[in-house]
A and B are shown apart, each in its own frame.
Chain A
Amino acid sequence: MTTLSTLPPSGQTRSKWAQPSRRKPKPRVQKRDWTGWKFIGPFMIVFALVLIAPVLYSIYLSFFKDQLVGGNSFVGFENYGQALTDPKFWESMGRVTLFFVVQVPIMLGIALFAALAIDSARLHLSSFFRIAIFLPYAVPAVVATLMWGFMYGTKFGLVGNLNDFFELAIPNPLGNTWVLAAIGNIVTWEFIGYNMILFYAALRVIPTDLYEAASLDGANAFRIIRSIKLPALRPAIVIGGIFSVIGSFQLFNEPSILQSLAPNTISTYFSPNMYAYNLSFSGQQYNYSATIAIIVGLITAVIAYIVQNSGSRKEV
């Protein structure tokens, strides 16, 4: 009896004692403990080599110009001035902006619908749908573009088949009018599943009691989606939005591979990235190419930041 009654207090004292001893590592910090650097060090060394150094090097390059007469010379912001008044650069920026404004909402919208459908428990075979729709994400962009590129073909591709069979006149998807939509379709195909899983994962975290409480209060499925699911999805939508912004402004793989199928419609400055690439590898204009890369990077970062901010502001 006595032991029993004395046990709880002693247990409490012990835990009170235990707390300071658990905090022991903290004082070590004040002694400037560098042990952590042994772990993060290797990452940071490679990081400095493949990320920080190229950024610094391209900033350096952007302030110089290599000319036949006079060689390499410091030109200040001349390259930036040239880029900002370069119609080819602005044409390519306009194209990726249009791409971003149209393609990203469509892709995220379909992905959101699919995620809600799979989470709704109203779907037959939902796990099969989940895996199958996610599958295109594993397909390399090169293979995805080659497949769609062949299918787009009016002569022997699927579009050609359809035209012959139904006597249709579907316009060439890789012609001037439709080429951006054709690329948008490839990108959408590749990333619907990725975004769907992103949203689905966020939906799974919502406590189910919330749904129960809501339906007891008489809320129907759409009300639950609007009042519970969509607000809970906001962070995931912001992440998906940021990745999509970066992806759109960095557009390169799809148009550059399609270029060999449609050399007349896809120019060397179709996207800012293709422009920078072609300036370097066909034009040897390394300084100007670095300048374009920096400007594109800055604009992308600013827009990604705006997306993140507008997303979290609504949250408050």
Chain B
Amino acid sequence: MSSVDRATALSTTDAAAGPTKGSRMPRYTKAAKQTQALHTKKSIILTIVMGALLIYSLLPLFWLFVNSTKTQAELLNSFGLWFSGDFALWDNIVATLTYNDGVFVRWFGNTVLYVVVGAGGATFLAALGGYGLAKFNFPGKKAVFAVVLGAVAIPGTALAVPTFLMFSQMGLTNTPWAVILPSLISPFGLYLIWTYAMDAVPTEVLEAARMDGSGEFRTFFTISLKLLAPGLVTVLLFTLVATWNNYFLPLIMLSEPTWYPLTVGLKQWNMQAQTVGGDVIYNLVITGSLLTIVPIVVAFLFLQRYWQSGLAAGSVKA
């Protein structure tokens, strides 16, 4: 990849990060005002077609909310897309949180642990590494590139079974480490920070810090990290959603329900409801699902503008 490409990647980041900061998109300020003037007439047909896509996107979430307000009996006997019977949302939430000695709360705590340590650690390692790649020349740098980029092509889940076998040899399975350690690596995050650091941290600043006798790590923590902040937020959000939604890895690594994250726990409740003679708790599965997505959806809505900038940087990768 040439330096020109990298520069494009960065300018993309800026261009896409920009629009959402102001209420109106800055890129559309001068030039686009004219373009928009050329065809300001909004198309109703286009809006209707996109409306269909919108309904498709939101319908399952609406279904989830409606059905989390129903009792187990109403769930089976009422029309799925509208409210029916008593508004049982609060009862369902209480039941979900207290079922089985509050195991759901435990799973919630586990998920938070995996997300904080996993996503936080992944962001930190990517920041250190990406910065190192962008700002230093060292022996073996090309080999590092080749190996990391090659690893992006290796499908994550293909590695899960071998990783499980290896971790079980090492006695790591059924511990939080089995979930956290693999989450710590984000090749895509490393790539993002690397492209971001090229421009965001001027080499002159580092030179000046060296002249003043600041150690490399001190410079990194006091100066560079601040300059990298927007890139860091992007990586943090990517890893956050990835770890919150992680299912395959914990499913393989954990056999003890006490260490389950929410995703694996919900799946287990659903299976229990399917089994003959099992406690039928569809209302808890549905309410639990709702409680699982609320935090991540809220985080997502608040921070979605950073996502777009991150994806923009990634889109120029090829």
Contact = CB atoms under 8 A, between A and B. Distances in A.
Interface in A104-147: 110, 114, 117-118, 120-125, 129, 131-144, 146-147
B158 to A, nearest CB: 4
A249 B36 CA distance: 42
B79 A146 contact: no
Interface stretch (B86-94, B95-103, B285-293): B285-293
Nearest to B41: A122
B281 interface: no
A120 B27 CA distance: 14
B76 interface: yes
A156 B38 contact: no
Interface in B208-226: 216-217, 220
A202 B241 CA distance: 22
B60 A141 contact: no
B151 A47 contact: yes
A305 interface: yes
Given A123-B47, A151-B60, A250 B138 contact: no
With most chain A CB atoms within 10 A of its CB, the pick from B11, B54, B161, B184 is B161
B249 to A, nearest CB: 10
Contacts of A50: 163, 181-182, 184-185
Contact of B154 (A36, A46, A55, A118): A55
Interface in B180-236: 181-182, 184-185, 190, 203-204, 207, 216-217, 220
Given A189-B57, A260-B271, A308-B318, A138 B158 contact: no
Given A42-B128, A277-B252, A52 B158 contact: no
Given A25-B203, A146-B270, A138 B300 contact: yes
B129 interface: yes
Given A110-B53, A123-B46, A132-B58, A252 B318 contact: no
Interface stretch (A74-82, A175-183, A294-302): A294-302
A158 B66 CA distance: 12
13 contacts: A32-B139, A40-B132, A46-B185, A124-B47, A138-B296, A139-B296, A140-B296, A142-B263, A199-B315, A201-B311, A208-B32, A257-B270, A276-B161
A34 interface: yes
Interface string A298-316: 0011001100100110000
Interface string B47-69: 10110011011101101100100
Given A42-B129, A51-B151, A142-B266, A273 B159 contact: no
B119 interface: no
Contact of B132 (A39, A136, A215, A242): A39
Contacts of A290: 161-162, 165
A131 B301 contact: yes
B68 to A, nearest CB: 11
Given A39-B136, A50-B163, A120 B155 contact: no
B185 A51 contact: yes
Interface residues of B, number: 119
A197 B136 contact: no
Contact of B136 (A36, A52, A238, A294): A36
A38 interface: yes
B293 A143 contact: yes
The A contact surface, by secondary structure, is helix
Interface of B: 8, 11-12, 15-16, 19, 27-28, 31-32, 34-36, 38-44, 46-47, 49-50, 53-54, 56-58, 60-61, 63-64, 67, 75-77, 79-81, 125-126, 128-129, 131-133, 135-141, 144, 147-148, 151, 153-166, 181-182, 184-185, 190, 203-204, 207, 216-217, 220, 241, 244-245, 247-248, 252, 262-264, 266-267, 270-271, 274, 282, 285-286, 289, 292-293, 296-297, 299-301, 304, 307-309, 311-312, 314-318
B211 to A, nearest CB: 10
A198 B315 contact: yes
B132 A132 contact: no
A194 B299 CA distance: 16
Contacts of A29: 137-138
B137 to A, nearest CB: 4
Contact of B156 (A38, A142, A250): A250
